[in-house]
Amino acid sequence: MDFFISNAYAQNASGSEGFLSLLPLVLIFVVFYFLLIRPQSKRQKEHRDMVAALQRGDEVATAGGLVGKLAEISDSFVQVELANNVLVTVQRHTVSAVLPKGTLKSAFKGGNKNSNADQKAG
């Protein structure tokens, strides 16, 4: 009856095979850390520092696409002046970029010329 049941022999137990089987998992984790986790945490830190350094009069762009000058700043909210006497209150963390000084003036000068030309043509 031994020909119906095969004998089961124990495998050689060596520690190097266990480590080699975990090597791809460790390698994947290292790649994810350097390509995903580390750059994202660096971006978050830069954004946190930028939001903490906001000052009245800074020209900013929000995550919603609004561009204006900071009029008032509180702990959680900022008021952005979009045009003369047009204030919008947004959450502080939605400020996505601080623009260089003079960006708004140059943007409005270029936009007014184009809009005047469009109005004259139409």
CA-CA distances (angstroms) from residue 48 to 33, 36, 39?
21, 18, 14
Cα–Cα distance measured from residue 102 to residue 106, given in angstroms and rounded to the nearest whole number:
6
pLDDT > 70 in the chain, percent: 81
- 112 pLDDT tier (thresholds 50, 70, 90): low
Give residue 80's pLDDT: 96
Give residue 4's pLDDT: 78
Give residue 64's pLDDT: 93
Residue 3 has pLDDT above 50, yes or no: yes
Distant-in-sequence, close-in-space partners of 67: CB < 8 Å, separation ≥ 6? 59, 60, 61, 82, 99, 103, 104, 107
What value does the mean pLDDT take over residues 65-78? 94
What value does the mean pLDDT take over residues 42-65? 95
- Sheet of 86-91: strands edge to edge? 86-91, 77-83, 67-73, 59-62, 95-99
Average predicted confidence (pLDDT) for the chain: 84
Cα–Cα distance measured from residue 81 to residue 89, given in angstroms and rounded to the nearest whole number:
9
Give residue 15's pLDDT: 54
Give residue 111's pLDDT: 55
Q: Whole-model pTM? A: 0.65
What value does the mean pLDDT take over residues 67-74? 94
Give residue 100's pLDDT: 93
